[in-house]
Amino acid sequence: MASMCGDSLRISIFGQSHSPAIGCSIDGLPAGIPIDLDRLQAFLDRRAPGNSDTSTTRREADAVEFIAGITEGHTNGAPIAAIIRNRDMRSSDYSELRRVPRPGHADWTAAIKYGEHRDVAGGGHFSGRLTAPLCVAGGIALQALEARGIKIAAHIAQLGTEPITDKPLNPMELDEAQLDAIAANPLPCIDASVAQRMHEAILQAKSELDSLGAVIECVAYNVPAGLGDPMFDGMESRIARIAFGIPGVKGVEFGEGFGAALMRGSEHNDPFCMQDGRPHMATNHAGGILGGITCGTPLIWRMAVKPTPSIGKPQRSVDLDAHRDTELTVRGRHDPCIAPRAVPVAEAACACAILDAMLTSAGTQRILQGDIDEPR
């Protein structure tokens, strides 16, 4: 399975939804980066299941255990190995899925590719459970980036079939009040009234044995200009490569994204101006990236998260053994909307991609350790 990503920061994710543990290895981090383990655990807690009425009832502490790579609160230069033990599993809920694939899930494609040896319990390696170790890697990356002044924030920008829309994150500069609001509201939204409406919409879908999708906006502030490359290693490609590894993500856009197709060039182009003796962009329709390379304005991207495919309503499927149509009612415990717990996952994906690009750029390992000044 292709469960690895990164060029200089190489991340590998392992485990299944109901295996004894899940985890990751992280290779390529220089020695000496301080890691606040309490902050890292608090970040993981934002994604952990069972903590709200909009989440699955499966309860996991998601307590991370480091096997290697961290000594006395700092990276030691060796690959980091971390595990999260699975505790609350009910594998019997998934016993019939070898025979009857769930619509919208990877049960059928897994059967084609891996045959009888596939793990169906909880979705196996295809499960959103595997975003927990991604958040371990991302949480470490976030701390490494924040030490260099880079801050990443995300929120639910839009939710539901009759879209409920939150205010956008500031496209030009970090607004700490927005981040405080996201942390304080019952769902990760800037506007408290929007958070309440989204909460009610999720519970309504849950009561109807259904689910909802959403759009998550993520912005990275104070990203230096010059990261990324043209063509296939641009920052868009680096972020999208990880974002599309998040189960349930069906679309990614940057800046105005698909909205750019509805604009004229005179509207979409970001004018340049001199500020403090250096070129700056007066607007940020590009989302902080031109030609695959960061341009110094905030990096803005969004990901579309599909409605949770595991729903309580009866659905049409097939019996693979009997070779006939059948009806399936999904058992198990599932989120009525993935988005609230996917917000920190978006931040993790963004942080991993940016840190990887920084480590790939010449000299940036020394920059991260503070040995030399950042190039201007």
pLDDT tens, 307-356?
Answer: 999 899 999 999 988 999 999 988 777 889 999 999 999 999 999 999 99
The CATH number of domain 91-368 is 3.90.1310.10: no
Query: Are 314 and 328 within 8 A, CB to CB?
Result: yes
Query: Other C-beta atoms within 10 Å of 276: how many?
Result: 5
Confidence of residue 75 (pLDDT cuts 50, 70, 90): very high
Contact (Cβ atoms closer than 8 angstroms) between residue 327 and residue 315: yes
Contact by Cβ (8 Å): 90, 318: no
Beta bridge partners of 303: 216, 252
Q: What average pLDDT does the chain have? A: 90
pLDDT cut 70: percent of the chain above it: 93
* Least reliable range by pLDDT among 87-96, 247-256, 280-289, 343-352: 87-96
CB atoms within 10 A of CB 373: 8
Name the residue ranges covered by the structural domains of the chain: 91-368
Torsion of CA 357, 362, 367, 368, to 10 degrees: 40
